[in-house]
Chains A and B, each alone.
Chain A
Amino acid sequence: MGSLQQIVLPALDQLSPPGLALVEELDKVLLVQLRDGRKIIGTLCSFDQFANLVLSDAKERIIIGEQYAEVPLGLHIVRGENVVLLGELDAAREPPAGLLLVSEAAIKQAQRAEHEADKIKGTLRARFDFLDDT
């Protein structure tokens, strides 16, 4: 073969049950990114092979532009299919550089403003869509 690597197909009876990779993350503070774009921070209490998660002291981190806020959620169970990624939070890089912590009310307002801006952008695009038809 002439190659140092070898793809070894494991025997079925030697395989450990799948989905155990998260054991190492138990009791750590994690940032969980969900499919709808939300970010939840919490301590991992439990999980299963689908990446269903139990997070204690969970809070949602909302980032709009250069501002962010954290909304307390308490104990949360996340259904695995909604999980995109779990990140271990590096204490040395917390809070994220360049972001300014604001109140929950302020971030909600910023969120509404952004939502409105998106809507206007959407309607403008819809109005100019006829230009593409020609």
Chain B
Amino acid sequence: MLFYSYFKTLVGKEVTVELKNDLAITGTLHSVDQYLNIKLNSIRVVNEQKYPHMLSVRNCFVRGSVVRYVQLPPGSVDVELLHDATRREARGG
């Protein structure tokens, strides 16, 4: 639940999602759910020529199970806050 909550704090920020098939998509984080499925708005594919089918897509839904990395905007990671939330979660709320 921690990462779900954490990703919710990033809604509205620009992130890059790299998928297990090497497709990398940059877009504004619109929403996340408990499976860490991700919805992105105003997307831009990093290697556009290689994935021409994505040219006509602006908003997309990515299934959580195919995500390899989520690259976060620099400065958006508050390590202290994460430490704290991790301990709270480990204690059970």
Contact = CB atoms under 8 A, between A and B. Distances in A.
B55 A18 contact: no
B81 A21 contact: no
Given A3-B78, A51-B63, A96 B33 contact: no
B50 to A, nearest CB: 11
Most buried by A among B37, B43, B85: B37
B70 interface: no
Given A5-B81, A9-B93, A19-B35, A25 B61 contact: yes
A122 interface: no
A93 interface: yes
B56 A89 contact: yes
Contact of A31 (B23, B37, B53): B53
Contact size class for B?
A: 35 or more
Contacts of A90: 56-58
Interface string B22-64: 0100000001011101010001000000001111111111110
Contacts of B34: 15, 18-19
A23 B8 CA distance: 19
B72 interface: no
Given A15-B34, A31-B56, A3 B80 contact: yes
A45 B85 CA distance: 39
Given A51-B63, A80-B63, A8 B33 contact: no
